[in-house]
Amino acid sequence: DSGVTQTPKHLITATGQRVTLRCSPRSGDLSVYWYQQSLDQGLQFLIQYYNGEERAKGNILERFSAQQFPDLHSELNLSSLELGDSALYFCASSSPGGLSTDTQYFGPGTRLTVL
């Protein structure tokens, strides 16, 4: 158990819909990262938040957005869903600021299926 929690575990929805994925980082971690893992794309970095602010952006579509709240939990919002958005979405957390704290710890993932 990494200490990172993600809900829901599974999500099934239809094309055109909007969903919200939730992540709670490890206690004390300030950074949250979102990744998408699909069969044909591998593991892709989407976005990073640090203490409530966006820190880095990767291959995140405009239909997707994220935020980190004052209690440090984060939400990833996916809208106008397409079949190709079906994937496993991982959240990870870390506490930057020291060699021993740069490691990212991954949550169990949310499996999104778009029908």
Partner 1 sequence: AQTVTQSQPEMSVQEAETVTLSCTYDTSENNYYLFWYKQPPSRQMILVIRQEAYKQQNATENRFSVNFQKAAKSFSLKISDSQLGDTAMYFCAFMRNTGNQFYFGTGTSLTVIP
* 86 lies in the binding site for partner 1 (CB under 8 A): no
Strands 19-24 vs 5-7: parallel, antiparallel or unpaired: antiparallel
Minimum CB–partner distance for residue 32 and partner 1 (Å)? 10
d(CA 24, CA 5): 5
Which of 82, 84, 104, 112 shows the shortest CA–CA distance to 9?
Answer: 112
Contact of 87 with 21, CB cutoff 8 Å? no
Applying CB under 8 A, among 5, 60, 65, 108 the residue interacting with partner 1 is 108
Q: Which of 66, 87, 92, 114 binds partner 1 (CB under 8 A)?
A: 92
The site string for partner 1 over 31-70 (x = CB under 8 A, - otherwise) reads x-x-x------xxxx--x------xx-x------------
Closest separation between CB of residue 91 and partner 1, Å?
Answer: 10
Task: Read off the amino acid at residue 94.
Answer: S
